[in-house]
Structure 1
Amino acid sequence: MSTSIARTLALAAWLGVHAALAAAPADGPASESIVLFDGKTLDGWKKTPFYGADAVDVRVADGAIVLPLGKSMSGVTTTRNDLPKVDYELSYEAMRTEGVDFFAAATFPVRDGFLTLVNGGWGGNVTGLSSIDGADASENQTTTGYKYKDDTWYRFRVRVTADAVRCWIDDKEVVKVDVKDRQLGTRIQVRASQPLGFCTWETAGAVRKAAIRRLTPAEVAENHVEAP
C-alpha cells in the first residue's frame, strides 16, 4: 500500500471516529423504552387479585387494557421482574369511561418502597401520591386538584430518582416532591398492584402506551427537588 493511500485511510478513520463522538449526547445515549403493553395482548400482565376481582373481565380492546367497574377495584399488575427502581420514567395514557373516582392509579417502585399516583381519587377531586410518611394523596404536599373528563385520553409521565418524584399530565407538572429519607408505601387497598400496576376504584377506565425508559445522567440531575 502506498504512503498516500495509507494516509488517506487513516484520515478517513479519524474523521469517522470524531464524527461519531460529535453526534453522541454528552452524557451518553438515551436508553430505549421498555414497552410494557404491546397493544394487543396481556403478555407481561396479570389481573390484580383484588377482592371480588374474579368477576371482573380485564381484557384488551381497541389497543388498550380495559379496566371494568369493580367492587370495589379492578386492575392489572406486571409479571416482569426486570424493571428499574430508580432513575427511570414511566409513561402511559389513561381514560375514564365510567364512574367518578380514580381510573388508572399507577403504582410504581421508588428505591425499595412504592408509591401510587392517584388520578382523581376521593370522588374525582384529588390527584397526588400515596403514601409519604404515612400520609396519602389527600393529605400530603402532593395533593392537587385536576379535573378529568370521561372518554378523554390523558398522557401521564412519572419520573423517579432516588431523591425525588415528579409527575406530569399532558405535559403539565402536577407533582414535584423530595422523597429523600422519607417513608414511602402504598395504601393497603392497592398493595396488590406492587411492584407496578394500574387500578380503579368503583370506576371503569382504560390504559395504553405504557412504557418505561431509563433516565440519562442529565435527566437524573434535573430531577432534583429541594427538601421543604
Structure 2
Amino acid sequence: MNRRGWLQLTLATLPAACRRPEPPAARAEAEPEIPWQPLVDSHWTPAMGGELSSPSSGVLRLQWGESLSAAKWTGPPLTVPFEMELEARRIDGTDFFCGLTFPVGASGECVTWVVGGWGGSLVGLSSIDGKDASENDTTQHRAFEKERWYRLRAKCTGERIEAWIDGERVIDLPTAGRSLTLRPGPIDVCAPFGLATWQTTGEFRSLRWRPVSP
C-alpha cells in the first residue's frame, strides 16, 4: 500500500471525536416578526365622564370627571393572544391615570390594569378571583410623577398575563384556574377594550398592538 492509501485508511478509522468537524449547517432563517398595528385616534370614542380630546397629534386626553372617565376602542377587535404598548401620564388629579381594560379569554372575559389608583400609587389587575387591584396577587404600590410619560406594555397569551412599566415587569400572573372578571361598576363601559381614569385627567400616546404566539 502506498503512503497516500495508508493515510486515507488511517483517517477513516479514527474516532469521530478526532476527525475534523463538518461545517455547521446553515441556520434556518428566523420567522419574520409580526408587525405592530397602531391604535389610531379616530377609532376611540367617549364612553362616559369627562371629555375625550386630542390636544396634539397622536395624543388622547381623558378629562377629569366626577368619577370614571372612559373611552372605548371601536376599531378592529383585539384577539387573544396579543401584546400592546402605550405611553400614559397624569396631568391632573390623584387617582389612576390609566385604567386599561382588555380581553383575556376567548369567552369574552376582561380585566382592567390599574396604574396609579387608590390615592395615586396602586398598580394591579381588577379583578382576580373576585378581588380587585387593591387586594389580590398583583397588588403593589409605586410612585408616579405628574406630567411624566410612563411606557406601559401588557401581554396576554390566554395562559398568562404580564405587564411592564418602563421596561420593568410588574405583573406575571398564570391564569389557569383563576376567575378573571371586571370590577363591578361603571368600568363595564370599556369592555372589551378601553381606557379610563378616575377623577383624574390622563393622556395617552403611541398606542399599538400585535398578535403573539400562544
**In structure 2, what residue type is equivalent to 1:214?**
P
Give the C-alpha shift of residue 197 in structure 1.
0.8
Equivalent residue for 1:12?
Answer: none
Q: Distance in 1 between matches of 2:182 and 2:32?
A: 33
Q: Distance in 1 between matches of 2:134 and 2:51?
A: 30
Structure 1, unaligned stretches of length 5 or more? 1-17, 221-228
Equivalent residue for 1:199?
Answer: 196
- Once the two structures are superposed, the pairs formed by residues 39-188 of structure 1 within 5 Å of their partners are 42-48=41-47, 50=48, 53=49, 56-62=50-56, 63-84=58-79, 86-111=80-105, 112-187=108-183, 188=185
**In structure 2, what residue type is equivalent to 1:57?**
E
The count of corresponding residues between Structure 1 and Structure 2 is 186
**In structure 2, what residue type is equivalent to 1:66?**
R
- The normalised TM-score by structure 1 is 0.77
CA contact (8 A) 2:70 2:189 kept: no
Segments of 4+ moved more than 4 angstroms? none
Q: Distance in 1 between matches of 2:160 and 2:64?
A: 33
Equivalent residue for 1:210?
Answer: 207
Please give the per-residue CA displacement for 1:142-165, whole angstroms capped at 9, x wherever unaligned.
Answer: 001121000000000001011110
Equivalent residue for 1:5?
Answer: none
**In structure 2, what residue type is equivalent to 1:195?**
P
Q: Distance in 1 between matches of 2:171 and 2:78?
A: 22
Look at both structures and tell me which one has the larger radius of gyration over its CA atoms.
Answer: 2
**In structure 1, what residue type is equivalent to 2:111?**
L
Q: Percent of aligned positions with the same letter in both sequences?
A: 35
CA RMSD of the aligned region, Å? Answer: 1.7
Q: Distance in 2 between matches of 1:57 and 1:163?
A: 36
Equivalent residue for 2:10?
Answer: none
Asked whether 1:36 is paired with 2:20, we answer no
CA contact (8 A) 1:67 1:75 kept: yes
CA contact (8 A) 1:30 1:214 kept: no
CA contact (8 A) 1:44 1:80 kept: yes
Please give the per-residue CA displacement for 1:89-109, whole angstroms capped at 9, x wherever unaligned.
Answer: 011000100011001210000
**In structure 2, what residue type is equivalent to 1:69?**
W
- The normalised TM-score by structure 2 is 0.82
CA contact (8 A) 2:128 2:179 kept: yes
CA contact (8 A) 1:115 1:131 kept: yes
Q: Distance in 2 between matches of 1:57 and 1:115?
A: 23
